[in-house]
């Protein structure tokens, strides 16, 4: 898909702004709201030990427990919005971590294979690759009607290739591109980082998504 | 720790109860989800009419998905003509996607007065789940409640 220079800049700006905003909210939840709630939680635990009345002790204990659950929810929400592993550990660990959540949410097992040594890529590139993989997996959960899928990462000198495959229902790619903006967004996202995304599918046989990114 | 479903006898009893609901209601899928005993997560433990085994791996957080929402609110939930007109994204309804359901009705199951489980009936095609079927599902949930509470 060819994108005109001005349109490419606007698309790039919108996607980048959206990612920056998601990251800001995730950080604010984790480092701001989450930390404040943790201070309140430890305060409640202190009150619980200081209170003598059994009824009040139980009440404060329940509140502390609820607070603990809320802290966990906030932490999970922040991780879902922007996986911290992406910036600290890299694409492969972030994908592994996401796949655990994916399997436990949709019941679809994903076989992840990696070949070659992961090299450092920019944060913009890694978040783009992560989002494209996320979109591909979301499409599998929504439309493929399959129990399993596979992801194969290949780090070659000068190029990273990612192949996402399922043996599900498959679909008409042309019709799908007209109907779903998600497919077009995957291709456009890859174009914006000078990469490629090729979607091929056969009805009744499954879908393959080949992503490639030049490495410098 | 996850809810283990009690003794083998109890499991068989619940399986039978799910199968009975499936036959009585002329629906395509019946599932029973229970909240883990030491955490907020909710898992599908029993199913009848399932088209695959995905339900066994699905775990939703308290307040998420149909099961999580029904347990957190303690109220029944009705989904009609999925994925059209659903609140939020279709991806927020894993059991509907896993079992390709079009209509579903989920009822809370209480343990000692607290919602801890969900009985869901679902249809993959055809007419929506009418009030009559919803009422039968609520009665089936009460029966299951009695069995589970021992």
Can you give the pLDDT of all 150 residues of chain B as single tens digits? 444 455 666 677 777 878 888 888 889 999 999 998 877 899 999 999 999 999 999 999 988 999 999 999 999 999 999 999 788 899 999 999 999 999 999 999 998 889 999 999 999 998 899 999 999 999 999 988 887 776
Check: CB of residue B115 under 8 Å from CB of residue B70. Answer: yes
Burial of residue B125 (number of CB atoms within 10 Å: 0-12, 13-18, 19+): exposed
Radius of gyration of chain A from its Cα atoms, rounded to whole angstroms = 22
What CATH fold (topology level) applies to the domain A85-214? Heat Shock Protein 90 (3.30.565)
The shortest C-alpha distance from B94 to chain A (Å) reads 5
Q: What is the pLDDT of residues A151-166, one digit of tens each?
A: 999 999 999 999 999 9
Task: Give the integer Cα–Cα distance in Å for B136 and B149.
Answer: 20
| Averaged pLDDT for residues A89-104 | 95
The domains located in chain B, with CATH, are: 8-148 (3.30.450.40)
Hey, is the C-beta of B59 within 8 angstroms of any chain A C-beta? yes
Cβ neighbours of residue B9 closer than 8 Å, sequence gap 6 or more: none
Check: CB of residue B50 under 8 Å from CB of residue B31. Answer: yes
Report helix angle A123-139 to A181-192, nearest 10.
160
Tell me what ipTM this predicted complex has.
Answer: 0.88
Check: CB of residue B32 under 8 Å from CB of residue B117. Answer: yes
Check: CB of residue A96 under 8 Å from CB of residue A175. Answer: no
User: Is A107–B56 a contact, with Cβ atoms under 8 angstroms apart?
Assistant: yes
Give the start-to-end residue ranges of the domains of chain A: 5-81, 85-214
Phi and psi at residue A167, to the nearest 5°: -105, 40
The shortest C-alpha distance from A182 to chain B (Å) reads 13
């Amino acid at each position: 898909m060819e994108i005109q220079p001005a349109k490419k800049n606007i698309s790039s700006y919108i996607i980048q702004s959206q990612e920056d905003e998601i990251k800001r909210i995730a950080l604010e939840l984790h480092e701001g709201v989450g930390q404040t709630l943790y201070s309140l939680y430890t305060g409640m635990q202190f009150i619980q030990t200081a209170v003598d009345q059994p009824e009040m002790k139980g009440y404060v204990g329940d509140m502390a427990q609820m607070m603990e659950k809320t802290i966990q929810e906030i932490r999970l929400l922040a991780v879902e919005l922007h996986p911290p592993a992406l910036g600290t550990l890299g694409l492969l660990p972030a994908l592994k971590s996401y796949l655990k959540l994916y399997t436990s949410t949709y019941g679809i097992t994903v076989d992840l294979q990696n070949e070659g040594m992961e090299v450092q890529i920019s944060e913009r590139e890694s978040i783009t690759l992560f989002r494209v993989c996320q979109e591909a997996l979301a499409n599998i959960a929504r439309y493929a009607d399959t129990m399993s899928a596979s992801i194969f990462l290949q780090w070659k000198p000068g190029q990273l290739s990612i192949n996402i495959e399922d043996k599900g229902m498959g679909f008409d790619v042309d019709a799908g591109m007209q109907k779903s903006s998600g497919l077009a967004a995957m291709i456009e996202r890859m174009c914006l980082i000078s990469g490629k995304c090729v979607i091929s599918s056969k009805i009744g046989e499954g879908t393959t998504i080949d992503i490639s990114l030049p490495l410098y | 720790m996850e809810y283990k479903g009690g003794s083998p006898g109890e499991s068989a009893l619940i399986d039978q109860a799910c199968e009975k609901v499936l036959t009585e209601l002329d629906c395509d899928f019946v599932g029973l989800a229970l909240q883990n005993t030491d955490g907020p997560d909710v898992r599908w433990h029993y199913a009848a009419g399932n088209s695959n085994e995905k339900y066994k791996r699905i775990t939703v957080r308290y307040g998420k998905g149909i099961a999580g929402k029904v347990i957190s609110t303690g109220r029944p939930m009705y989904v009609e003509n999925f994925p059209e007109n659903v609140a939020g994204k279709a991806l927020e309804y894993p059991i509907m996607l896993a079992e390709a359901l079009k209509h579903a009705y989920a009822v809370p199951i209480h343990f000692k007065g607290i919602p801890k489980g969900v009985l869901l009936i679902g249809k993959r095609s055809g007419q929506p789940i009418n009030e009559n079927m919803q009422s039968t599902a609520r009665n089936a949930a009460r029966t299951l409640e009695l069995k589970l509470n021992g």
